[in-house]
Amino acid sequence: MSLGLQAKALTTTLLLGLLLSACQPPGQNADGSATFLPAERELIFSLTPLGEPPPNPSNRYADKADAARLGQQLFYDARLSGKGNLSCASCHNPALGWSDGRPKAVGISTGTRNSPTLWNVSHQRWLFWDGRADSLWAQSIQPLESPLEMGATRTGLYQTFQREADLKQAYQKVFGPMPVSRSAINQSTDWKSLPEADKVAVNRFVSHLGKAFEAFERKLVSGESDFDRFARGLRDNDPKLQKAMSVDAQLGLRLFIGRAQCVLCHSGPNFSDGEFHNLGLPAIPGVAADEGRHAGIQAVLADPLNSLGRFSDADPDDTWADKLRYLSQHNSNRGEFRTPTLREVEHSGPYMHDGRFSNLEQVIAFYNTPEVHTPALGRREDTLQPLRLSAEEIKQLSAFLKSLSSGPPAVALTKPPA
């Protein structure tokens, strides 16, 4: 029997066998709400509460208030873009779930991928849909320099900070004097022409900017959602708290951790395993297939700002960098994308790496019948199996996803610091 068939056969039967069998038909209270069995409760409690962002030893400024303040200032400052008209917030708008409401990002021109939410981004192990950055600080230089996004250059940024007194002062307050380049640097300096020592100075400067962005982004964490409240009620046996979730949402939760198997990848309190999967989304006519993780692995290994490079603040043998130390590229990485968080997902559509679905019901409809689509690239993971959800159940799953919202971000974070 082929591996594929074995896999198919096995998935539903044993993996969550206990749970699956525990789940149907739901034990229900008189009002139709769910009574969850012990095995289900274990799974529910693996998803909550969200908790603090994990430490990032590669950024010694990660939890410094002055660095976060600088990061917040820069996040909203359009002077960091090539033409002075775009900031990070242009695509990561706090009023749109730290995203932009568009299928694909629009900066200097239209990109090829969807702007992901920044909610809880500090809980991710890898950044970008393809994981081509291994820390938030290393990530941030890429939109700044992307010719499709902000269109700056690192040498140009260096000169901007030399020129604009307030920026330079704000930088120096956190990081001390700007690293010195012996070559004169201006907006048109050719990076390749710089001697190595000056490249290091400029890279040190941009890694500092990145570390400030990260300190700010670590503040973008969700509060308690209806789901968290419900789970707390379940844990403490408090029926009033359990009312935080509608009956539909509770039945959706049961599907999420049971028959629909969503929890296999959307696992842990950030509803993401932080890793990469090929869901077998079909090709879109006229759009080039996206290599996803396969190219991302090469890029992160080659990135001079990665966590094994000289700009990391972690001890050389810190296990934090193990993710990179043991990383290897496989053919199966083609067409894989990182599992996104589902917290606040209601507010961050359109969905998927290419923004192909405009609402959650469309996403769930895809998961319901993955087998009818030919993967754009590579091979669909057998984790995804036909779900045979009814229209009612699709509604319940969607109600559950909407219970993962915790309300708008704190106003103080939604604009430059006072």
Taking the least distance from each CB to ligand HEC, the nearer of 127 and 174 is 127
Query: What CA–CA distance (Å, rounded) separates 222 from 200?
Result: 36
Nearest Cα to Cα of residue 401 among 340, 359, 342:
342
Query: What CA–CA distance (Å, rounded) separates 366 from 360?
Result: 10
Query: What CA–CA distance (Å, rounded) separates 252 from 17?
Result: 19
Report the DSSP beta bridge partners of residue 133. Answer: 127
Query: What CA–CA distance (Å, rounded) separates 25 from 36?
Result: 11
String of contacts with ligand HEC for each residue 96-125, x by CB under 6 A: ---------x-x---x-x-xx-x--x--x-
* Contacting residue, 138, 253, 279, 297, with ligand HEC by CB under 6 A: 279
- 121 binding partner (options other proteins, ligand HEC, none; Cβ < 5 to 8 Å by kind): ligand HEC
Does position 32 interact with other proteins (CB under 8 A)? The reply is no
* Contacting residue, 57, 268, 309, 408, with other proteins by CB under 8 A: 268
String of contacts with other proteins for each residue 388-417, x by CB under 8 A: x-----------------------------
Site for other proteins in 323-352 (CB under 8 A): 323, 325-328, 330, 332-333
CA dihedral 327, 332, 333, 334 (to 10 degrees): 150
Contacts of 86 (CB under 8 A, 6+ apart): 78, 107, 108, 149, 150, 151
Does position 218 interact with ligand HEC (CB under 6 A)? The reply is no
Q: What minimum distance in Å lies between the beta carbon of 283 and ligand HEC?
A: 12
Does position 1 interact with other proteins (CB under 8 A)? The reply is yes
Contact 277, 381 (CB under 8 A): yes
* Contacting residue, 15, 65, 289, 391, with other proteins by CB under 8 A: 15
Radius of gyration of the chain (CA): 23
CB atoms closer than 10 angstroms to residue 175? 20
Q: What minimum distance in Å lies between the beta carbon of 210 and ligand HEC?
A: 8
* Contacting residue, 35, 109, 186, 319, with other proteins by CB under 8 A: 319
Nearest Cα to Cα of residue 73 among 151, 171, 5:
171
Taking the least distance from each CB to ligand HEC, the nearer of 241 and 292 is 292
How many chain residues interact with ligand HEC (CB under 6 A)? 54
